[in-house]
Structure 1
Amino acid sequence: MIAARLQTEPFDAAAEQAALISARTDLGAAVQFTGLVRADDGLVALTLEHYPAMTLAQMQAIAADAAARWPDTIGTIIHRHGRLLPGEPIVLVTTASPHRAHAFAAASFLMDWLKTKAPFWKREEWADGSSRWVEAKTSDNHAAEQWLAP
C-alpha cells in the first residue's frame, strides 16, 4: 500500500520513513525523495492552490497505480499546499521494498506522475513585488512519458 496525504505543515522526512519501515523485516531497501522550494533569482515564496478532494483523489490514484506496478512496495507520498518559502520542503516520496530496483522505480514513478498529474496551481512571488503562475514543464511531461511504455 502507498498512502497519500495533503497538508500545510512541514513534514519530518526521517520520521515518515521510520514509520513506514518500522517493525518490517521483509524489506531490503528504502528510498526517499524530498522536493524543496528553490530560491531562484529573487523568489520570495511559492503558493500552491488546489481543490482538496480532487487533488487527494488524484494522488491516491497515482499511489494505487504504483502499488499495482510494484505490489511488493509500500510507501508514503505527502504534498504540501499553501504559501511556502525557499528552502522549505514541498513534497515527500518515500518507498520501501524487498528489492532496491522496485523501491527506486516506484519512487521515480510517483514523483514523475505527481509533477504532471496532481492538480496543483503554483504561483511564484518575486522580490520586486510581481507574481506569476507557473507553467507546466515539457521536461516533466517527458519524464512521465517513460512510464507509458509497456
Structure 2
Amino acid sequence: MDPIALAELRAAPLSIDEVLAAVGDPRAGGTAFFIGTVRDHDHGRGVTALSYSAHPSAASQLRRVMEKVLADTSADGRPVWRVAALHRVGDLAIGDTAVVVAASAAHREEAFAACRRLIDDIKAEVPIWKHQNFTDGDSEWVGAC
C-alpha cells in the first residue's frame, strides 16, 4: 500500500470524504486534516474571486514534497502511515475548498505534525500560483516569482 494515498491537482471541486477514505489505515490511531477555503479578504482588502494556476511540474513536485514529509516525520520510529493532498486549479469562488491535506499515523502527535508540515511545504515548494481579484477592481498574483 503506497503511503502517498492521493496527490493530485484538480479543476473539479475537491472531496473531503475522498481524502478521509484515502488516508484510512487500520494501524492509525489518529488522522489530521487541513482544509483551505477561499476567503473574502486578504490583508485587509476585500476579495471577490481567485484563480489558481500550476506549473506543469506541480504534480511531481507535490509528490516529492509528500515523500520528504513522510520520511522526515516517520524518522523517530513512530511512522506516519498515509498522507493525501488535493489542490484545486482554475477559477474558485468565495467559500470554495482550495486545498485538502491529511495524514494518518499511529498517534495524533505524528498525524498533526505531518499534516502541518504537508500544508506548509506545499505552499512553500509546489509551483502553484494564486491570482486574486479585489473588490476595488485591482488584482494580484501570490506566490509567483
TM (norm. structure 1) is 0.81
Q: CA deviation at 1:135?
A: 5.2
Gaps of 5+ in 2: none
Alignment of 1:1-150 (within 5 A): 1-2=3-4, 3-21=6-24, 24-40=25-41, 41-52=45-56, 54-71=57-74, 72-73=79-80, 74-134=82-142
CA RMSD of aligned residues (A): 1.6
Q: CA deviation at 1:128?
A: 3.5
Q: Which amino acid aligns with 1:9?
A: A
Q: CA deviation at 1:76?
A: 0.4
Identify the structure with the greater strand proportion: 2
Q: Which amino acid aligns with 1:30?
A: T
- Larger displacement relative to structure 2 (97-106 or 42-51): 42-51
Q: CA deviation at 1:15?
A: 3.3
Q: CA deviation at 1:130?
A: 2.4
Distance in 1 between the 2:98 and 2:9 partners?
10
TM (norm. structure 2) is 0.84
User: When the two structures are aligned, how many residues end up with a matched partner?
Assistant: 133
Distance in 2 between the 1:69 and 1:76 partners?
16
Per-residue CA deviation, residues 106-140 of structure 1 (Å, 9 max, x unaligned), is 0011111111111112111123332221258xxxx
Gaps of 5+ in 1: 137-150
Distance in 2 between the 1:121 and 1:27 partners?
33
